[in-house]
Copies of this chain bind each other. A is one copy, B any other.
Amino acid sequence: MVQNDFYDAFKASLSDPTFDRIYVLSHLNPDGDAVGSACALTYLLRLSGKKALYFTETPDHKYAYLSDAWNSDRYGGLFAPEHFITTDTTGFSRLSKLPDGFSHENEFELLLSFVIDHHKCNSFSCTHKLVLSEKAAAGEIIFDLYKNCGIGFDEYSAAAIYTAIATDTGCFRYANTRASSFLCAAELCEFAPGGSFYEINKIHFETKSFKKIKIESYAVENAIFRINGALVFSVFDSSERARLSITDIELEGVVSMLRQIEGVRAAFVLKQQPSGEFKVSVRTDYTAAFGGINAAELCACFSGGGHDAAAGCSLSGAPDEIIDLLESAAVKTMNSKNASV
Contact = CB atoms under 8 A, between A and B. Distances in A.
Contacts of A201: 172-174, 177
Contacts of A227: none
Contacts of A190: 179
A207 B262 contact: yes
Interface stretch (A71-79, A192-200, A311-319): A192-200
Contact of A206 (B178, B186, B193, B260): B260
Greatest chain B CB density within 10 A among A174, A179, A207 is at A179
Given A187-B179, A221-B217, A261-B210, A288 B172 contact: no
A203 to B, nearest CB: 10
A185 B172 CA distance: 10
Interface in A132-182: 171-180, 182
30 contacts: A171-B171, A171-B173, A172-B172, A173-B198, A173-B205, A176-B196, A178-B195, A178-B196, A179-B186, A179-B189, A182-B182, A182-B186, A182-B189, A183-B183, A194-B289, A198-B287, A199-B290, A207-B261, A208-B260, A208-B261, A209-B262, A210-B223, A210-B229, A213-B220, A213-B260, A214-B220, A216-B217, A216-B220, A217-B217, A217-B220
